[in-house]
Amino acid sequence: MKRFTIFVVLVLTTSSLFSQEKDPKLNIFLNCNFCDTSYIKQNLGYAEFVRDQNYADVYLFFTSQRSGSGGRVYEIDFVGQNMYKEFKDKITFSTTSDSTSDEVRFIMLKNIKIGLIRYWVKAGLKDKISITIEKTKETEVVTEKDPWNNWVFNLGARGSFNGQETTSRRNLNFNVSARRITEANKFYFRARFDDNKSVFKFDDQEDIISKNNSKNITLYNVFSINNHWSAGFFSYAGSTDYNNKDLYLTFAPAIEYNFFDYKESFKKQVTLAYRLGVNYTNYTEITVFGKNDEYLMNHSLSLNGSIRQIWGNINGSIRYESFLHDTALNQFSFNFGTRIRVFKGFSLNIGGRYNITNNQINLPAGNLTVQEILLRQRQIKSGYNYSFNIGFNYTFGSMFNTVVNPRFD
C-alpha 194/C-alpha 175 separation (Å) is 9
Beta strands in 98-228 (DSSP E): 151-163, 167-181, 185-200, 208-224
pLDDT value of position 127: 86
Beta strands in 53-110 (DSSP E): 58-66, 72-80, 88-95
pLDDT in tens, 327-361: 999 999 999 999 888 877 788 999 999 999 998 88
Query: Is 1 a domain residue?
Result: no
> Taking a C-beta distance cutoff of 8 angstroms, is the pair 57, 81 a contact?
yes
Query: Is 282 a domain residue?
Result: yes
Query: Is 78 a domain residue?
Result: yes
C-alpha 296/C-alpha 251 separation (Å) is 11
Query: Is 360 a domain residue?
Result: yes
Q: What is the CATH number of the domain that holds 30?
A: 2.60.40
User: Among 342, 331, 338, which residue's Cα sits nearest to residue 388?
Assistant: 338
C-alpha 175/C-alpha 214 separation (Å) is 12
For residues 118 and 267, membership in a common domain is answered with no
Domain final residue, candidates 128, 150, 185: 128
Query: Kindly report the CA angle at 370 between 361 and 208, in degrees rounded to 5?
Result: 115
For residues 115 and 247, membership in a common domain is answered with no
- State the DSSP code for 166: S
pLDDT in tens, 367-397: 666 565 555 656 677 889 999 999 998 877 7
For residues 245 and 376, membership in a common domain is answered with yes
> Taking a C-beta distance cutoff of 8 angstroms, is the pair 24, 124 a contact?
yes
pLDDT value of position 4: 45
Domain final residue, candidates 103, 128, 153: 128
pLDDT value of position 224: 94
For residues 113 and 249, membership in a common domain is answered with no
For residues 380 and 236, membership in a common domain is answered with yes
Query: Is 212 a domain residue?
Result: no
For residues 236 and 120, membership in a common domain is answered with no
pLDDT value of position 12: 43
C-alpha 65/C-alpha 46 separation (Å) is 30
**Below-50 pLDDT ranges, the chain:** 2, 4-20
> Taking a C-beta distance cutoff of 8 angstroms, is the pair 383, 360 a contact?
no
Domain final residue, candidates 128, 158, 191: 128
User: Among 333, 347, 335, 339, which residue's Cα sits nearest to residue 307?
Assistant: 339
pLDDT value of position 372: 59
C-alpha 213/C-alpha 197 separation (Å) is 8
C-alpha 228/C-alpha 58 separation (Å) is 33
Radius of gyration of the chain (CA): 29
pLDDT value of position 203: 77
Q: Hey, is 283 helix, strand or coil?
A: strand
Q: Give the count of domains, the chain.
A: 2
pLDDT in tens, 137-188: 655 555 567 788 889 899 999 999 999 988 899 999 999 999 998 889 999 9
Q: Hey, is 173 helix, strand or coil?
A: strand
C-alpha 380/C-alpha 367 separation (Å) is 10
271: containing domain: 225-394
pTM: 0.77
pLDDT value of position 19: 40
- State the DSSP code for 137: P
pLDDT value of position 5: 47
Query: Is 326 a domain residue?
Result: yes
Query: Is 18 a domain residue?
Result: no
For residues 268 and 383, membership in a common domain is answered with yes
C-alpha 247/C-alpha 240 separation (Å) is 8
C-alpha 172/C-alpha 159 separation (Å) is 5
Query: Is 276 a domain residue?
Result: yes
* Strand order through the sheet with 47-49: 47-49, 26-31, 58-66, 72-80, 88-95
Which secondary structure element, helix H or strand E, spans residue 86, and what is its range? none
* Strand order through the sheet with 229-240: 151-163, 167-181, 185-200, 208-224, 229-240, 245-258, 268-283, 293-309, 312-323, 330-343, 346-357, 384-394
pLDDT value of position 139: 53
